[in-house]
Structure 1
Amino acid sequence: MSARTDLPPVPAPRTALITGAGRGIGRGIALGLARAGYAVALVGRTQAHLDEVAAQAAALGAMTVTATADVVDVAAVARAVSLVEDAFADLGGIGLLVNNAGVIERAETHLVDDDVEDVWRVVETNVRGPLLVTHAVLPGMLARGGGRVLDINSGAGHRATDTYTGYGISKGALARLTTAIDAQYRDRGIRSLDLAPGVVATDMTAGMPMHDERAQWTPVEDVAELVLAFGDGELDAWSGRFVRAGADTVDSLRAVTGQVLATDARRLRLSAYGPDDPAV
């Protein structure tokens, strides 16, 4: 698909559903959006964690709603999305979906030495989860004429690594989902974005040996700033593309938007060996 600069405005309310919102990056995103005046729906598996974040968001003046669901359970996802849509009905429904919930393998090792069932657990959670939630949220967005879907991705989605095979597979597939949503629905007012959070200090990264000696971390506030900019429409021209917190800022992305659109950069694709490559 060729780059488009004439995208129409998206009539999306300042409401957000965030999965995996009870801890870590999801919590930081939820509080960042709440601080900016968004109504936030917190979805996760543990009600106690959601309640803690909801109390913090409410203290910032935000309307909040919580819904427990395992994102790989289609019935639970449908119930959670229905609950949130009902709660946000007077506000215009769900305007922004943040697919944040995700996991990583228990062992930092190569594929042959890994537990293939654990590898599949990661692929299923990180791909089926966003797929089910997006599938449940999109009809409402389309009926209202627009909305935004942001997928928390990773450099592992486009760059091969020598460990965490399932994580890399899952994030590559998630990037393809982001581009598919853009290709199928951009003309109906849907915008999608892959956002890699960098390396944020969370329970997940604390359990990864590769980060044992790390001294510099990406502030979760940097992640929330990019999510907020996307939710507010400032990055709509980047729909179907990839940004990274800790490297990209709202200002730096604005500065290179023309160049990115002209070259159709930051999009998942097969690289050609030349202009005559028949496979591209």
Structure 2
Amino acid sequence: MSGLFDLSGKRALVTGSSGGIGAALAAGLAGAGAEVVLNGRDADRLEAARAALAERTGRPVRAAAFDVTDATAVEEAVRDIGPLDILVNNTGVQHREPMLDVPLRQWQRLLDTNLTGAFTVGRAVAAGMVERGAGKIVNICSVQSWLARPGIAGYAATKGGLAMLTKSMCAEWAPHGLCVNGLAPGYVVTELTSALVNDPEFDRWIRARTPAGRWATVDDLVGTLVWLSAPASDFVNGQVIAVDGGLTAVI
């Protein structure tokens, strides 16, 4: 039974993993036995994260500094990393502003990073997976893949698009041995959500809106990611799995 969740001998790239959710996901994969490659744009911050994860797990950890919105850099990095068994498309940005006021450049930034970035990295990695006839891709979606709130139109649009990109990747690549799924976190306590966590009114709303009665932690996401990356989920394909304490299950 333990072999169902064993990632020994597998190489995994986690984009946007210098900190926050990405760093926790990378640590979870390493803990399951994978050789992890971290990614981010800031080379110094990335190296610090790499060293910290290597010390924490006692396992080799690699780092690849590149911008997911730069298609040329993506292709070069994927080629330098070598064959990948697992890809986690985690890189994402947020912008909070009423839709009537959002500058077009911010809308485009969200599209380029959250959606086109996943497409670009996914396609670059999938080419090798298709050739080898195996691979796991996990796109980090969101409860905003299905639910809208005022002030985050661009983010919700990109996450909704990412959910459908996940299904499209499955449709094209599952016949070649790939499993492509999405993991959709609920509201997670991170540095990026600290303003919301510390807003008493919003905090009360989230706790009341979520049947589990609390925010998620980054560690709450790890088990589902390992499952989606491991042999245990080999017949799970094209799905977007909510890890949200029940938030999307209720009105």
TM-score if structure 1 supplies the norm length?
0.76
Work out whether residues 28 and 221 of structure 1, in 8 Å CA contact, stay in contact via their aligned partners in 2: yes
User: Displacement, 1:12?
Assistant: 10
Work out whether residues 43 and 80 of structure 1, in 8 Å CA contact, stay in contact via their aligned partners in 2: no
Q: Take 1:28 and 1:168, find their aligned partners in 2: how far apart are those partners?
A: 23
Q: Partner residue of 1:127?
A: 115
Q: 1:143 to 1:31 in 2, by over 3 A?
A: same
Q: Partner residue of 2:65?
A: 68
Indicate which of 232, 236, 239 corresponds to 2:237.
239
Q: Take 1:133 and 1:212, find their aligned partners in 2: how far apart are those partners?
A: 35
RMSD: 2.1
Q: Matches of residues 222-233 of structure 1 in structure 2 within 5 Å?
A: 222-233=220-231
When structure 1 is superposed on structure 2, of 46-55 and 163-172 the one drifting more is 46-55
User: Displacement, 1:123?
Assistant: 1.6
Work out whether residues 39 and 63 of structure 1, in 8 Å CA contact, stay in contact via their aligned partners in 2: yes
| Percent identity over paired residues | 32
SS at 1:243 equivalent: strand
Q: 1:160 to 1:236 in 2, by over 3 A?
A: farther
Q: Partner residue of 1:96?
A: 86
The structure having more radius of gyration, on CA atoms, is 1
Work out whether residues 189 and 197 of structure 2, in 8 Å CA contact, stay in contact via their aligned partners in 1: no
Work out whether residues 41 and 65 of structure 2, in 8 Å CA contact, stay in contact via their aligned partners in 1: yes
Q: Matches of residues 1-280 of structure 1 in structure 2 within 5 Å?
A: 14-59=10-55, 60-85=57-82, 93-105=83-95, 108-207=96-195, 209=196, 212-213=199-200, 214=203, 216-247=214-245
Partner AA of 1:64 in structure 2: V
Partner AA of 1:74 in structure 2: A
Q: 1:246 to 1:168 in 2, by over 3 A?
A: closer
Partner AA of 1:20 in structure 2: G
Q: 1:55 to 1:12 in 2, by over 3 A?
A: closer
Q: Which has the higher helix share?
A: 2
Alpha-carbon displacement from aligned partner over 1:134-175 (angstroms, at most 9, x marks no partner): 111011111111101100001111223222111011011111
Alpha-carbon displacement from aligned partner over 1:236-266 (angstroms, at most 9, x marks no partner): 3331111122438xxxxxxxxxxxxxxxxx9
Q: Take 2:81 and 2:199, find their aligned partners in 1: how far apart are those partners?
A: 39
User: Displacement, 1:210?
Assistant: 7.7
Q: Take 1:98 and 1:121, find their aligned partners in 2: how far apart are those partners?
A: 20
SS at 2:182 equivalent: strand
Partner AA of 1:155 in structure 2: V
TM-score if structure 2 supplies the norm length?
0.85
When structure 1 is superposed on structure 2, of 93-102 and 151-160 the one drifting more is 151-160
Partner AA of 2:199 in structure 1: D
Partner AA of 1:166 in structure 2: G
User: Displacement, 1:177?
Assistant: 0.8
Unaligned residue ranges in structure 1 (runs of 5+):
1-10, 86-92, 249-265, 267-280
Q: Take 1:34 and 1:210, find their aligned partners in 2: how far apart are those partners?
A: 29
Q: Take 1:83 and 1:20, find their aligned partners in 2: how far apart are those partners?
A: 18
